[in-house]
Amino acid sequence: MPRTVIDADKILKIGMLAPLSGKMKSWAEPGFMGCLIWKDWVNKKGGIRIGDRRYQVDVIPYDTQFRPEKALAGARKLLIDHGVQLVMMLGGNDFSRPLRDFVNQRKALVTTLLPSDLSPNARTLIAPCEVHPIYNVTGVDWLVRDDPRLKTVAMCTQNDEHGLPSIATYRAAFEAAGLTLVDEHLFPNQTSDFSEIIGRLLEKKPDVLCWDTAYEPFVHAMTIEAYKRGFKGRIISCTCDNYLELIEKTSPEFMENFVFQFPDFDDPRLNEPQINFGDPAGFFNEFCRRYPGEWSAVSWEYAAILQMWKVAVERARTIEPLTVLAMMKVGGKGKHVFGEATWWGRELFGIDNALVGDWPVVAIRNGRARIVEFGSPLTWWKSYGYLLIKHMRALNLMWDQREEKLALSR
């Protein structure tokens, strides 16, 4: 009978190119922690099987500090010096035109958590896990069905590559849901005092406050300020990392029904048969044991990407990037974390390189984040995609507008 041989002389290497320090680290560092758990679990089970051989795997980090020049230097080091077979990125500010040119030259397989990075001129860049900010439409859709009395909303977030596409998405979602946007504010990343900003929003007496895709320190500061000022309405946000701390600093009653998009992985609904993440509760518990207080929206995402890559490598029987990419996209379908999904995006990103499936809507219930629904971004798109395109174009965020801007900057 054929035997599988463990090759001790070769280790398969994956690079993580992301901001592991500074204000952005909450969307990268917990993800690297999750990768270390995934690596240990895979290696303990014998590694990755390619044909009749098995290989151990390693994940090599590089801190970009969310600076394009650092990201380019990191990509060179990971791909040339370390010979990684996959580069995982947060994306956004890090994925510059020079970096894209280098990736194209190397024909490297690169993943991003920001599909707004996607372009037909970056054919090996994919978004196989998170379709930020498109899934945010599902939270708005659920919110207005949960409370049809809601009529007005005020929104604010930081003015950057994460905040702006999300602004466009929430604008479209509010319009589709019949919510009137009474105020909107973009603030600099250096902002630390939110008293004036929240005061101005509350002057419009909104039924809903929306924190868009604000970073954890901003979400906490704005929520606490709204609590201090006696806000009684609903709050919706893309993320709400470390929500237990927010409950302590406000009150359980204030945080009840806070809506966002990222569950704890011990959520009972992650035991449903369509879920494609092995032992989510075990992963969550191991993460919390190793890294107390560090669980965030991205803790599981990079690990989920690694698992998709592992499955494709084992099926393709090779680590060659273009072959692995073809295997990941075969048939135009894929196994997303939350169920079957479709490789999509041509109308919005110019290329079908985003794996889009159902996404959880999460609400805080009795002090815990719990999935209240799995919503379908693509079902929403069929009815209201034109609204998203309208608002993306208004902010010069469509892929062709971004390509024109990049061409002018060369």
| % of the chain at pLDDT higher than 90 | 92
Sequential DSSP letters for 257-276:
T-EES---TT-GGGGSTT--
Domains of the chain, each with CATH number or no CATH: 5-113+275-296+298-330 (3.40.50.2300), 135-262+362-398 (3.40.50.2300)
Q: What's the pLDDT at 22?
A: 87
pLDDT given for residue 403 in this prediction: 86
Beta bridge partners of residue 158, listed in sequence order: 187
pLDDT tens column, 347-397:
999 999 999 999 999 999 999 999 999 999 999 999 999 999 999 999 999
* pLDDT category of residue 410 using cuts at 50, 70 and 90: low
Residue 8 is predicted with a pLDDT of 62
Is the per-residue pLDDT at 321 higher than 80?
yes
Question: Over 60: is that where the pLDDT of 409 sits?
Answer: no
Helix (H, G, I), strand (E, B) or coil at 58: strand
- pLDDT one-digit tens code per residue, 48-80: 999 999 999 999 999 999 999 999 999 999 999
pLDDT at site 246: 97
**Average model confidence (pLDDT) across the chain:** 95
Q: Which tens digits make up the pLDDT trace of 74-129?
A: 999 999 999 999 999 999 889 999 999 999 999 999 999 999 899 999 999 999 99
Give the pLDDT band (50/70/90) at residue 161: confident
What is the pLDDT confidence band of residue 9, given thresholds at 50, 70 and 90?
low
Position 408 pLDDT exceeds 80: no
| Share in percent of the chain as helix, strand, coil (round to 5) | 45, 20, 35
Maximum distance among all alpha carbons in the chain?
75
pLDDT > 90? residue 274 = yes
Judge whether 345 and 117 are in contact, CB under 8 Å. Answer: no
Query: What pLDDT is recorded for position 309?
Result: 98
Residue 150: is its pLDDT beyond 70? yes
Looking at the DSSP assignment, which residues form a beta bridge with residue 259?
236, 363
Cα separation of 202 and 230, whole Å? 10
- Asked if residue 267 lies in contact with residue 371, where contact means CB atoms within 8 angstroms, the answer is yes
| Cα torsion angle, 167, 69, 66, 131, sign | positive
